[in-house]
A = this chain, B = another copy of it.
Amino acid sequence: MSKRAAPEARRAELIAATARVLATRGAAGASVRVIAAAAGVSPGLVTHHFGGVERLVEATYDHVAARVGEALEAAVTTAGESPRERLAAYLDASFAPPIADPALLATWIAFWSLAQGGAAMQASHAHHYAGYRARLEVLLGEVGVAAERRHLAAVGLTALVDGLWLELCLSPGVFTAADARAVVAGYVAAV
């Protein structure tokens, strides 16, 4: 039996275990029993702390999305002052660890497949992508892209990065992370 823990700590452990299970076993393996075993606790705790598996997966989605956002923001921060470099850092971060990770793709696919009927998670997804695009529009503005062109440029860049990231994780070998960065750089230059 696991020692008694503070609710927030236990919730964090369960979320971490869920992310681990989603990455390794996919959506199909994300059962209460498997997650609880991964966290080293009893299955009943999931119901106790989250009221159901669905709610736990939603919480995990928010947590993973937040960590991805943090990783992107960290890349921008360490990039320095140049607006051009900051934009490039934000985009290129998607092709390097910890984002370009097959395990993260597995997690994301699991979310998508579980989001099919869940309004809460669809809203979460829309919010997360809107945030990504909004940050991108700011960075595009800082490099001098006209305000009326920023939206479409952000849409295109988001799609391009997403598509490249997807294929990079799904079938590595077709092209490299360096190729992806070059493609994105070409697109940015064209904007």
Where the two chains meet, the residues of A that have a C-beta atom closer than 8 Å to any C-beta of B are 25-28, 106, 109-110, 112-114, 116-117, 122, 125-126, 129-130, 133, 152, 155-156, 158-164, 166-167, 170-171, 174-175, 179-180, 182-183, 186-187, 190
Cα A117 to Cα B182 with chains together (Å): 31
Chain B residues within an 8 Å CB radius of A110: 113
Residue of B nearest to A162 (CB): B163
Residue of B nearest to A123 (CB): B171
Cα A112 to Cα B109 with chains together (Å): 7
Cα A164 to Cα B172 with chains together (Å): 21
CB <8 Å contact, B167 and A129: yes
Cα A109 to Cα B110 with chains together (Å): 9
CB <8 Å contact, B160 and A167: no
Cα A150 to Cα B116 with chains together (Å): 36
CB <8 Å contact, A159 and B166: yes
A171 contacts which of B106, B113, B129, B170 (Cβ < 8 Å)?
B129
Cα A186 to Cα B156 with chains together (Å): 10
Chain B residues within an 8 Å CB radius of A156: 160, 164, 183, 186-187
Closest approach, in angstroms, between the C-beta of A68 and any C-beta of chain B?
Answer: 16
Cα A171 to Cα B23 with chains together (Å): 24
CB <8 Å contact, A113 and B187: no
